[in-house]
Structure 1
Amino acid sequence: MEGDVAVAVHTESSNGFAQEWKQTEDVTSGQSTHTLMCNGIKENGGISGSSYLRSVPISVLKQNGLLQSLASGGEQTETEEVDSELERAQHEWDALESIQPVPVEDLVPSALISFNEALQHFQTTDLANLLRNIQPTVRRTGLAVVTHFLFGPPRLHRELTEERDLVFAIAQCTLDNTQPVHMRVLQTIYRKLTCTKADCPRYGPHWENIGFQGTDPATDLRGTGFLGLMHALYLVMDPETLPLARDIYKLSQHPVQNFPFSVMSINLTRIVLHALREEVLTKECNRRQQVVGVLNEFYVATFLHLYEVWRSQRKTISDSGYVLRDVELYAKKNPKQLLKHLHCYLQERRTGIGHRTSPDLLSHGNRSLGDGATHSHGGKEGKMNFTGVCELPPEMEGEARLI
């Protein structure tokens, strides 16, 4: 058997040029002759197969790409290909990081909720634990009991006590993220005031746009609970009061006369709750045979009164404590006049006459708020902190708090 058998090994010389070593075996009459060639040039002398393998350095084998590929099972790529893959992967990752996720609120806006639907939710919810802790009337002792019995307002009709207690129970409910109704109420208030169609995130600085004090509206509901949102919901969802709500909201954005709309609204809900507990509204509730409806109108009437005083007397945030104090005193003393003024205001808007500020209200506002303004220039003793107005006044510390 005669023939040539060749084995090639590719290396690189010390000067950087590629070298191809080739060993040929010439088989003639059973005798084999080994010849070593480099780049086609025959080397002198022959070597045996074992001596050749010993003469090739291990570094030569490691530098051979084909051998590396075979040693790794064919899965190892060349350095240039690996670098290219890594670079492409890095570009894809950078592009992925730049993609901003679309909030769920922007994809599927929630349906607006009416006041009656939200109220029905609480009417069908088990509030037994909250009802045990309510204090629906002011606790009186000694001579105050006799005086109230002889000269105080009439008692609330028995058939209305359940509705009244429901109001105080709602005032103890906290904002619950797991309740769809709660979230819809919050979104409805925001969208109706700002005239936006899409929902906003549950947390964020955007809540300050409608007068909350931080990124979470729940932190501002101390003292009134969810009732603070229910009253704001009524204000923005009633077609007759929505224009008033937007007028008040516009004033709250004034560059000089601005105030936090939602915080102010919550403070007015607190006034309503005090008026109900002190039985100021009992006579009107008995006359109309309802509690929730009277409270809603009393809340709107009080907000209207504050709005007119704030706008006409050019009040600013520094006057807020005194304004709220005087508004509360007036509202509790004149609930019937306050409600009547609201009805006249809404009637004028319906007929297109336009609203004119009541002289009686302005004269009262000038007198009472003027006194408050005088005190505001005095010492620190008379100064009130706006952010703490939701707390019960000192004279009611002995009574049960809502929260």
Structure 2
Amino acid sequence: MWRGNDRPEASQGFVSTEVLRAQEEWEAVDNIQPETGSQVNSGEPGQLISFSEALQHFQTVDLSSFKERIQPTIRRTGLAALRHCLFGPPKLHQGLCEERDLVLTIAQCGLDNQDPVHGRVLQTIYKKLTGSRFDCALHGDHWEDLGFQGANPATDLRGAGFLALLHLLYLVMDSKTLLMAQEIFCLSQHHIQQFPFCLMSVNITRIAIQALREECLSRECNRQQKVIPVVNHFYAATFLHLAHVWRTQQKTISDSGFVLKDLEALAKKSPRRLLKTLDTYLARASKGQASLLGAQKCSGPQDPHSKDLTFTGVCDLPSHSPKGTRLI
């Protein structure tokens, strides 16, 4: 198979039958994953999909079976309910409840590789993070290079569903946050501080889901009269804060569980603070100024031993573990 600069070209005005045949094979290579040679399940090979287009897909398909599973808000009883009523955040405006429920419903949907839109979302994430022009197989070791735990991204979406992939899509397809996504992805490949980028992102989505259900984002949603843009912005802001802490405090994969636990507490307590920090970052980035992550040298492919390290996420962290304990 021809790859990269190996593409055959005509020489000295003479084109042989073999060269023409090789050129035809090259033109057909777009839908083949180079390592495995498996056919890509993509409705429109090579075409990126925007966040709004992917969201529209979920707004038009029947999600009733998934919507039955959601719990829009946390159920509180007794003193906890009274405290929340007196001192908690405001309730979400009634007119925004349908949009909130859509977010939570998407979080119940799994990844369906037979759905062309699902496949295009995966392909877009892969291309924007790696810079590849080619489609790739929807199963394969290349997903581990992006920070999934295995060859099938669907197995890592527990607790966040397809919303986790929509958040990644938002991060890489919004021109304002693409640089940030690339910086965090670069940090995730550091030879000492590496972490599974996509798996970390799934955990950030879990935090966003819980913050929404606990009404921590209601004040901002009510102010903007929107839910989805606020949740997206909150996800990005939380991911940015995690990356800043990870780099400046020299965190490693063994710190992941408690870093995420502390991040979850901060995100729920001070969402507005995180959102303002993101706004500051985006304003500086638009002017070409140094980012909040600081100078960070990419190390290229992860160390071969990095995939053997155990990542501890929010859902995997025992609540009774002493603070400061490192889980590996």
Shared fold per TM-score greater than 0.5: yes
The percentage of aligned residue pairs carrying the same residue is: 60
Is the 2:41–2:116 contact (alpha carbons within 8 Å) kept by the matching residues of 1? no
Structure 1: distance between partners of 2:168 and 2:54:
12
TM superposition shift of 1:231:
0.4
Structure 1 residue aligned with 2:133, among 197, 209, 214?
A: 197
Find the counterpart in structure 2 of residue 335 from structure 1. 271
1:238 maps to a residue whose letter is: D
Find the counterpart in structure 2 of residue 113 from structure 1. 49
CA gap of 1:201–1:157, structure 2 versus 1, over 3 A, is same
TM superposition shift of 1:106:
11
Find the counterpart in structure 1 of residue 159 from structure 2. 223
Q: Does structure 1 residue 141 correspond to structure 2 residue 77?
A: yes
Matches within 5 A, 1:263-282: 263-282=199-218
Structure 1: distance between partners of 2:101 and 2:318:
22
Matches within 5 A, 1:365-376: none
Structure 2 residue aligned with 1:309, among 242, 245, 267?
A: 245
Structure 1 residue aligned with 2:170, among 211, 234, 245?
A: 234
CA gap of 1:204–1:164, structure 2 versus 1, over 3 A, is same
2:315 maps to a residue whose letter is: C
Q: Does structure 1 residue 126 correspond to structure 2 residue 62?
A: yes
Structure 2 residue aligned with 1:250, among 186, 201, 207?
A: 186
1:328 maps to a residue whose letter is: E
What root-mean-square deviation, in Å, do the aligned CA atoms of Structure 1 and Structure 2 show?
2.2
Q: Does structure 1 residue 386 correspond to structure 2 residue 304?
A: no
Structure 2 residue aligned with 1:175, among 91, 108, 111?
A: 111
Q: Does structure 1 residue 165 correspond to structure 2 residue 89?
A: no
Per-residue Cα deviation, 1:246-279 (whole angstroms, up to 9, x for no partner): 1110111111110000000000000000100110
CA gap of 1:223–1:393, structure 2 versus 1, over 3 A, is farther
Is the 2:147–2:199 contact (alpha carbons within 8 Å) kept by the matching residues of 1? yes
Is the 1:106–1:199 contact (alpha carbons within 8 Å) kept by the matching residues of 2? no
TM superposition shift of 1:390:
3.4
CA gap of 1:314–1:388, structure 2 versus 1, over 3 A, is closer
Unmatched 5+ residue regions in structure 1? 1-99, 359-384, 396-403
Q: Which has the higher contact order (CA 8 A, sep 6+)?
A: 2
Structure 2: distance between partners of 1:222 and 1:118:
20
Structure 1: distance between partners of 2:193 and 2:163:
27
Structure 2: distance between partners of 1:196 and 1:257:
25
Is the 2:217–2:271 contact (alpha carbons within 8 Å) kept by the matching residues of 1? yes
Matches within 5 A, 1:11-50: none
Q: Does structure 1 residue 320 correspond to structure 2 residue 245?
A: no
Q: Which has the larger radius of gyration?
A: 1
Unmatched 5+ residue regions in structure 2? 1-34, 295-309, 321-328
Is the 2:46–2:135 contact (alpha carbons within 8 Å) kept by the matching residues of 1? yes
Structure 1: distance between partners of 2:317 and 2:211:
12
Find the counterpart in structure 1 of residue 9 from structure 2. none
TM-score (norm: length of structure 2): 0.78
Is the 2:41–2:113 contact (alpha carbons within 8 Å) kept by the matching residues of 1? no
Per-residue Cα deviation, 1:305-354 (whole angstroms, up to 9, x for no partner): 01111111111101111111111111111111110010011001111232
Greater per-residue strand proportion: 1
Structure 2: distance between partners of 1:255 and 1:249:
13
Find the counterpart in structure 2 of residue 209 from structure 1. 145
2:188 maps to a residue whose letter is: S
Per-residue Cα deviation, 1:155-206 (whole angstroms, up to 9, x for no partner): 1111100000001100000101111000100111011000001011111111
Find the counterpart in structure 2 of residue 349 from structure 1. 285
CA gap of 1:147–1:259, structure 2 versus 1, over 3 A, is same
Is the 1:106–1:198 contact (alpha carbons within 8 Å) kept by the matching residues of 2? no
Is the 1:276–1:282 contact (alpha carbons within 8 Å) kept by the matching residues of 2? yes
CA gap of 1:102–1:142, structure 2 versus 1, over 3 A, is closer
TM-score (norm: length of structure 1): 0.64
Structure 1: distance between partners of 2:225 and 2:213:
17
